[in-house]
Amino acid sequence: MTRVLFVTSEVHPLVRTGGLADVSASLPEALGHIGYDVTILLPGYPAAMELTRDAGALHKARLWVDSYDVNLWQTRLPGTAVTLWIVDCAQLFRRPGNPYQNAEGQPWKDNARRFQLFAKVGAKIALGKAGLSWIPEVVHCNDWQSALLPVYLELSSERPSTVFTVHNLASQGLFPQDTFQNFGLPEKSWSYDLLDLKGQLAFIKGGLVFSDRITTVSPGYAEEIQTPEFGCGLEDLLYQRRHELTGILNGIDTRAWDPENDAHLPHHYGPEDIKSKRLCRFQLRQELGLEQTDAALFCFAGRMVKGKGLDWLSDVLPALLKRGCQLAMIGAGTASQASSSEERKFEVAMDQHARDWPGQLSVTIAYDEALVHRVIAGSDLLLMPSRFEPCGLNQLYGLRYGTIPIVNRVGGLRDTVFDVSNNSGEIANGFSFDIPDAAALLSTIERALKYYESRRTWRRIQENAMTGDYSWNRSARLYSDLYQNILAERQHAIWG
Ligand code: GLC
């Protein structure tokens, strides 16, 4: 059994600001099913600490790291058999609200220190310096919050193999150069080839430069991030490492997201018997105060930011509603307590629109997981005009629920949504556009509505969508191949 330490700053259902949390819960479990011994390492945020109390977690170790008193607790990720280790450092992690920002939406001032410490604790564990009997063979880090870990490992001649997964290249963990001085890293790691990004310390470069392999969450995004358009200033580095960079598509939790068994739905349906989807729609309209009509019901779920194409969506909104269509929007609900003013701006504007279009547009600003399930199940079409999308999970939820996605053809969206007009009837499962603007979005919406009017064709598209394989099985195998490859290489390097 290969031992993998899966290092992440979010995991569902304990702490979630985005898709990273979903992946961090499902991938380790799927790897467990194919014989891996996976332990998740997570900072001791309040929800995690509550779990350690309620679940009677085991005290594994007490460490002093850079004069911080750190305790390591072991429990299981709720609802799974996966081992979870929690890095308890009250001073740094036991704070209310968002893991990265305070109640005013400002990043915590000591974020660099918080995630440097997290990485250092991970390195101690991985190098067998935490007094534990379990030592990983592979350390799998995710996003900038754990990206310094491979840097610390590199200081040691005997280290486990490392994989770094990019869930979003735009989040880089940038801090002023003087932050670097306090981290005890060799001076030589401050160079443009290593941790310096235009005069700033970029945590993400730790993962990108120092890991044995880089992965990202779709083949499409893996290609795109080697270009200036999507590379966020890191395209040259990614191009140089292109032979060690792979895109592995995310799966979804097919137990939680199953229209035949979804505990959040008032009615259940599946690809063979889709009739009750209409009942879900009826109830959703009732719940959201939307009129009961024959017109199509669209939905949008997620953060209301420009990156998700909210400006294009605002532009096409009047045309969509004038046609009699309806739109149910559910925002992430993080903006009021945290997040950017940009997100706040779109939320406020959409909220105002909802008042102008009662019965046709519903806007909910809250993180309400159950409602997201009901919105996706009850809608006919799902809008996802993201400007960039490393993988995207909502389109996969939509596909599985027969809620046909309309997407910008980028990243993971282009790997999962196959346009009716470009593909054989066998696999066509949605609609996509190539030109990134509002006009293309609108004409794609209009094209989709034509298909929507033809019941038989629509049913066929829904069937294609609902019968696709969105489980983690395939992707977990690809990660497994990757782990085995790097393990074989390292053995070769040590003995060769
Ligand atoms: C980030 C990306 C999203 C991806 C998710 C999980 O949230 O924006 O596209 O699906 O991470 O990898």
- 167: Cβ below 6 Å to ligand 1? yes
Question: Ligand 1 centroid vs 394 CA: distance in angstroms?
Answer: 10
pLDDT for position 331? 86
Predicted confidence (pLDDT) at residue 220 exceeds the cutoff of 80: yes
Q: Which residues sit opposite 235 in a β-bridge?
A: none
pLDDT for position 103? 82
Q: Of ligand 1's atoms, which has the minimum distance to the CA of residue 22?
A: 6
Question: Ligand 1 centroid vs 216 CA: distance in angstroms?
Answer: 9
Question: Hey, whose CA ends up nearest to atom 5 of ligand 1?
Answer: 19
Q: What is the pLDDT of residues 370-405, one digit of tens each?
A: 999 999 999 999 999 999 999 999 999 999 999 999
pLDDT for position 340? 60
Question: Hey, whose CA ends up nearest to atom 12 of ligand 1?
Answer: 167
| Closest C-alpha among 40, 392, 419, 417 to residue 216 | 392
pLDDT for position 493? 61
Predicted confidence (pLDDT) at residue 339 exceeds the cutoff of 70: no
What value does the mean pLDDT take over residues 471-494?
88
Q: What is the pLDDT of residues 168-183, one digit of tens each?
A: 999 999 999 999 988 9
What value does the mean pLDDT take over residues 439-458?
97
pLDDT for position 492? 58
Domain 3-251+473-495 sits in which CATH superfamily?
Glycogen Phosphorylase B; (3.40.50.2000)
What value does the mean pLDDT take over residues 287-315?
96
Q: Of ligand 1's atoms, which has the minimum distance to the CA of residue 165?
A: 12
| Closest C-alpha among 426, 453, 457, 463 to residue 273 | 463
pLDDT for position 494? 45
pLDDT for position 333? 59
Q: What is the pLDDT of residues 60-110, one digit of tens each?
A: 999 999 999 999 999 999 999 999 999 999 999 999 878 999 888 789 999
pLDDT for position 424? 64
| Closest C-alpha among 325, 423, 424, 320 to residue 432 | 423
- 307: Cβ below 6 Å to ligand 1? no
Q: What is the pLDDT of residues 120-149, one digit of tens each?
A: 999 999 999 999 999 999 999 999 999 999
Q: Report d(CA 343, CA 365) in Å as an integer.
A: 11
Question: Ligand 1 centroid vs 87 CA: distance in angstroms?
Answer: 24
The tokens describing 174, both together, are 């940038």
pLDDT for position 96? 87
Q: What percent of the chain has pLDDT over 90?
A: 88
Predicted confidence (pLDDT) at residue 467 exceeds the cutoff of 50: yes
Band (495; pLDDT cuts 50, 70, 90): very low
Question: Ligand 1 centroid vs 496 CA: distance in angstroms?
Answer: 38
415-448 CB burial, b ≥16 within 10 A, e <16? bbbbbbeeeeeeebbbbbbeebebebbbebbebb
pLDDT for position 491? 63
CB contact at 8 A, 172 and 394: no
Cβ-Cβ contacts under 8 Å for 8 (sequence gap 6 or more): 20, 21, 24, 40, 41, 42, 142, 143, 145, 146
pLDDT for position 422? 76
pLDDT for position 334? 58
pLDDT for position 18? 86
- 143: Cβ below 6 Å to ligand 1? no
- 305: Cβ below 6 Å to ligand 1? no
Predicted confidence (pLDDT) at residue 465 exceeds the cutoff of 60: yes
Band (367; pLDDT cuts 50, 70, 90): confident
- 24: Cβ below 6 Å to ligand 1? no
Band (342; pLDDT cuts 50, 70, 90): confident
Q: Of ligand 1's atoms, which has the minimum distance to the CA of residue 412?
A: 9
Question: Hey, whose CA ends up nearest to atom 6 of ligand 1?
Answer: 19
- Can you name the CATH fold of 276-466? Rossmann fold (3.40.50)
Question: Ligand 1 centroid vs 134 CA: distance in angstroms?
Answer: 30
CB contact at 8 A, 378 and 362: no
Cα-Cα end-to-end distance for the chain: 24
Q: Looking up tokens 């702490």, which residue turns up?
A: 15
Predicted confidence (pLDDT) at residue 417 exceeds the cutoff of 90: yes
As a whole number, the mean pLDDT across the chain is 94
Q: Report d(CA 257, CA 472) in Å as an integer.
A: 13
Band (211; pLDDT cuts 50, 70, 90): very high
**Residue spans in the chain of domains classed CATH 3.40.50.2000:** 3-251+473-495, 276-466
- 250: Cβ below 6 Å to ligand 1? yes
Distances in whole angstroms, Cα of residue 244 to Cα of each of 96, 192, 474, 485: 39, 20, 20, 11
Q: Which residue has the higher pLDDT, 492 or 71?
A: 71
Assign residue 247 a region: left if phi > 0, alpha if psi is -120 to 50, beta otherwise?
Answer: beta
Question: Ligand 1 centroid vs 18 CA: distance in angstroms?
Answer: 7
pLDDT for position 336? 44
pLDDT for position 182? 85
Q: Of ligand 1's atoms, which has the minimum distance to the CA of residue 221?
A: 9
β-bridge pairing 200-202 and 174-176 = antiparallel
Q: What percent of the chain has pLDDT over 70?
A: 96
